């Protein structure tokens, strides 16, 4: 049972345009969401995150939007650059009571290709 | 220069052999994690450890074992009981109060 879904395996966008990557989740206990970027044969790198108390978080060209009622989040990249070409993973977690690590549940990823 | 190191980058083994993947971090992180990635799949959690000498099974722990004798190190052993060991293995770490996990470069294991 996939709790975090990225339904688009791939996305192609022209350089300079907006890239929109989508993510849906089914577990209503999730309250923190992260986006990771991954190049081939490398580990993922953290990009941006959002807490369930917010509906938007911006960091430079990257903005994440959260719609809790729809259990949907999206990552916007504006403007898109060829260096943004990578696989983007959506991840979700929930706060544990007390100290402890936070397990991330990942989607399958969306491969973004930015065409020069 | 802080970070997570995984060695080796590529590893080849014969079927039936156990193999140990190394993961070391110098970020002073409390928690460490092992994930597996298969083509077209997301990252699936194998094991995680919140503190030294303690670890918990993730979603796909069967056929794997770990140890956490030092805060900096979290080696993963892929045993002969793992039915499909060929995959890309990623180690990650985080502070125990942080959601953000930092990943190593990964080890690609091929078993023939």
- pLDDT tens track for A3-40: 999 999 999 999 999 999 999 999 988 989 999 999 98
| Residues of B (6-45) whose Cβ lies below 8 Å from A | 6, 9, 30-31, 33, 35, 40-45
**Residue A28: closest CA among A69, A80, A85:** A69
CA–CA distance, A36 with B89 (Å, rounded to integer): 16
Top pLDDT among B2 and A113 is at A113
pLDDT band of residue B99 (cuts 50, 70, 90) is: confident
Q: Report the residue from A42, A101, A106 with minimal CB separation from B48.
A: A101
Counting other chains too, the contacts that A14-17 makes at CB distance below 8 Å and 24 or more residues apart are: A14/A80, A14/A114, A14/A115, A15/A79, A15/A80, A15/A81, A15/A82, A15/A114, A15/A115, A15/A116, A16/A79, A16/A80, A17/A79, A17/A80
Q: Are B103 and A109 within 8 A, CB to CB?
A: no
CA–CA distance, A39 with A97 (Å, rounded to integer): 34
pLDDT attached to residue A97: 45
CA–CA distance, B32 with B103 (Å, rounded to integer): 10
pLDDT band of residue B40 (cuts 50, 70, 90) is: confident
Token code pair at residue A68: 């809790």
CA–CA distance, B60 with B46 (Å, rounded to integer): 5
Top pLDDT among A100 and A71 is at A71
pLDDT band of residue A99 (cuts 50, 70, 90) is: very low
pLDDT band of residue A2 (cuts 50, 70, 90) is: confident
Residues in chain B: 112
Q: Which has the minimum average pLDDT: A50-54, B2-6, B13-17, B39-43? A: B39-43
CA–CA distance, B103 with B112 (Å, rounded to integer): 27
Closest residue in chain A to residue B89, using alpha carbons only: A43
| Residues of B (78-97) whose Cβ lies below 8 Å from A | 88, 90, 92, 94, 96-97
- Residues A57-83, mean pLDDT to the nearest whole number: 97
Helix/strand/coil for B103? strand
CA–CA distance, B43 with B25 (Å, rounded to integer): 20
Torsion on CA atoms B90, B32, B17, A44, rounded to nearest 10: 0
CA–CA distance, B78 with A90 (Å, rounded to integer): 27
Given a cut of 80, whether residue A111 has pLDDT beyond it is yes
B52: Cβ contacts below 8 Å, ≥ 6 apart: B68, B69, B70, B71
Do the strands B64-66 and B10-13 form a parallel or antiparallel pair, or are they unpaired?
A: unpaired
Q: What percent of chain B has pLDDT over 70?
A: 98
pLDDT attached to residue A101: 57
- Residues B37-60, mean pLDDT to the nearest whole number: 91
């Amino acid at each position: 049972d996939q709790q975090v879904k990225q339904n688009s395996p791939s996305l192609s966008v022209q350089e300079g345009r907006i890239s929109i990557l989508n993510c849906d989740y089914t577990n209503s206990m999730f309250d923190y969401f992260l986006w990771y970027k991954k190049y081939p044969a490398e580990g993922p790198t953290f990009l941006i995150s959002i807490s369930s108390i917010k509906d938007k978080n911006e960091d430079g060209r990257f903005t994440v939007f959260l719609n809790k009622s729809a259990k949907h989040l999206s990552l916007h990249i504006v403007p898109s650059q060829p260096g943004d070409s990578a696989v983007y993973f959506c991840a979700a977690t929930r706060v544990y009571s007390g100290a402890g690590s936070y397990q991330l549940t990942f989607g399958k990823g969306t491969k973004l290709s930015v065409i020069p | 220069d802080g970070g997570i190191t995984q060695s080796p980058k590529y590893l080849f083994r014969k079927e039936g052999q156990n193999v140990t993947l190394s993961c070391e971090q110098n970020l002073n992180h409390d928690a460490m994690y092992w994930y597996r990635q298969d083509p077209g799949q997301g990252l699936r959690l194998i094991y995680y450890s919140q503190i030294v000498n303690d670890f918990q099974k993730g979603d796909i722990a069967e056929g794997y074992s770990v140890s956490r004798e030092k805060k900096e190190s979290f080696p993963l052993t892929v045993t002969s009981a793992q039915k499909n060991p060929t995959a890309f293995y990623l180690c990650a770490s985080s502070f125990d109060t942080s959601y953000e996990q930092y990943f190593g470069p990964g080890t690609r294991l091929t078993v023939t």
